[in-house]
Structures are given as structure tokens and as C-alpha cells.
Amino acid sequence: MAAKPAGSGPGKNPSDDLVRELMTELGRAFDLSTALGDRTLGAAVEDRIRSLELGEKPEWGTDGALTQLAKQESGALDFYYRPHLFPDMDPALRLGHRLQFDLLPRHLPEESPLRIAAVLESYCHLSGDLLGWRLESDELFLWIVDVSGHGVRAGLAAATLYFLINSIEKGLSPARFSKRINEGVLAARNPEDPGALFATGIWLRAEAGGRVTYASAGHHPIVLLRSGGEVEYLGSTGIPLGLIARRTFEERQFELVEGDALCLFTDGLVEARSPDEEEFGTDRLVDVRRGWSGSPMELTRAIYLAVREHQATSLLDDDLTFMVVERSEGA
């Protein structure tokens, strides 16, 4: 947090550099409050940012308290969700952006056989990526989805998929769930614009004993990083959603033991480009994991920082979404 400049009492303007630093701190506080689902704190921080953008003088005590409160609350932060809200964004679009991010999960059930940490940072306006999970008896069912395209169109398609996913009954195998969600996508698609609802996705069911069953609809491979350093790439078991009706989808199984880590991601992670147009790729992802020992939360932060350092810019060229999944101790 920027310190109050010497000699800047009432009626004196602090330097532009200090104001910019304060704005940066408040921006981070807003990101944390959004990720934590703390609407009260988020609204307070957003109001202060708007006031400063309109030229209001900083209130160092109030602004400092807001940033410190967000940092204090972030001690239990496992899920980092960052919407990109712009000062001149249309109010209706801003509301839609907030509503979309409110749909993302904020908790992991205590009975979960898995530990999860997740990141979702939108490219612009609305995100076309989606992730989530739910406890079904003693099993955890989770998913990650990537809708084609960007912006409002992709965001609306992602919202449609969210409600389709949550309308399907619990207890289905990943293969049967894939079939049902594909049927829902085909039924919801606009015949005059069939490309508006096209997506890839992974559905994964984890049992308490470590057995994991998954189905993948044309999605990037799951990266399974074994505790001994081996890497397995768990590929797609079917075509993307919304192409054709299928009677069946395939599913596969594997064992997840303590010390293993799964990474599920959308293409915005591995296709993130450097200024020289070099993609981040799965090799760098694996290197981060091999050089890191810690909780899923710590690993997601390490991956996120590695991607952003690789891009060397504050701007994204796609939604950035990924999950790190490990087996819970004793599960």
C-alpha cells in the first residue's frame, strides 16, 4: 500500500505516481473481493475506484483500510476469479459480467475427496469459459468447459451451458452426462446461428478411494502429474458438444493417489503467447509443477504468474482458466 506522502495534508494533491499506485492497490483489492464473493467489500472498493477516476482526492485512511481488509480476507483464497470491468463499459454489460461471475463456485464441500484450486480470468466483457463442481453422495463431480469465440456471444453461450449442466440429474456417469449435455446443446442451439453454441468440455467423477472416471468432448488433454515426476496426458474421448447427436460417449478411468496433481485447462492457458508469438504450452506447465511443492492454491498461483510473465503484458488474448486438483488427505 502506498504510504501517505510527506507534507500532503488537507488541500494538497499527492503526486500522480502515488495516486496511480493507490489505484493499482485498490484494483487488487477489488479482484480479491470478487474472488471471495464479498459483495459488500467489492462494492465499496469499486465506488472508491470510480471516485478516484472522476478526480476525487484520495482518502488515505479509508483507501488503505479497504486494501488491507481484502488482503486479510484472502488468506483462505483458493479460487481466483477476475472479471475485466472497464470504466466506460455499458451498465447492462457490467451487470451481466458480475452475474456471470456470481455463478462460479466459491466453496469446496468438506466431504470432497479432492482438493481444488481454480483460476478464471476473462479476456473481455463476458467469459466463454466455465468451471464448477458438486458433491454427489461421497463423490465429487466436476467440469470445465470452453465455448468457442469471445465476448458477449460466448458469454451468453456459457450461461446457457451453466443452466443446462445444473438441470441434469445427479448420479450420471461422465459418459451419460456427456450425452445429455450434448442433447441439451443441440436443442438450445439457434438454427439460424448454429455456430453460436459450440463447446468443448470435460466431465470428471472422483470417488473417495481415488478412482476417477472422465469423459472429454473434444477438449484439451488433462495433464496428470504423478508424484514420482511422470506425466500422463489423458486425451479426449469424443467430439465437441453441439456438432451432431450421438447415442453414446466414451469414458475412461484412472487412479489418483496422494501426491498426484491433475491440471484441467482451456486453450487460453497453453496458447497464451509471448511478445515473440511463442505459446506457453504444456511443457512449461509441467515445468512449473515439477519445480513446485505446495498446496493446489499455491500451485495455481505459480502457474498463473508463469503464464502472465510469459505474456509480458497486462492484456489477455483469450480467457485464462484452469484448475489444479489433488486427492484429499485420507480420501
Per-residue pLDDT tens for 259-305? Answer: 899 999 999 899 999 999 999 999 999 999 887 777 888 888 888 88
**pLDDT tens track for 152-175:** 788 888 888 999 999 999 999 999
Within a 10 A sphere around the Cβ of 274, how many other Cβ atoms? 13
Cell of 106: 466459491
- What pLDDT does residue 84 have? 63
Segments of the chain assigned to CATH 3.60.40.10: 79-327
Minimum mean pLDDT range among 9-23, 154-168, 217-231: 9-23
Within a 10 A sphere around the Cβ of 143, how many other Cβ atoms? 23
Within a 10 A sphere around the Cβ of 161, how many other Cβ atoms? 24
Does 67 have pLDDT greater than 70? no
Does 253 have pLDDT greater than 70? yes
Residue with cell 483489492: 29
Cell of 181: 449435455
3-state secondary structure of 6: coil
DSSP character at residue 220 = P
- Which neighbouring-strand residues pair with 117? 324
Domain at 79-327, CATH class: alpha beta
3-state secondary structure of 294: coil
Does 193 have pLDDT greater than 80? no
Q: Check: CB of residue 62 under 8 Å from CB of residue 48.
A: yes
- Which neighbouring-strand residues pair with 323? 118, 264
Band (pLDDT 50/70/90 cuts) for residue 13 is very low
Cell of 178: 456427456
Average pLDDT in the chain = 81
- Nearest Cα neighbor of 167 from 158, 175, 177 is 177
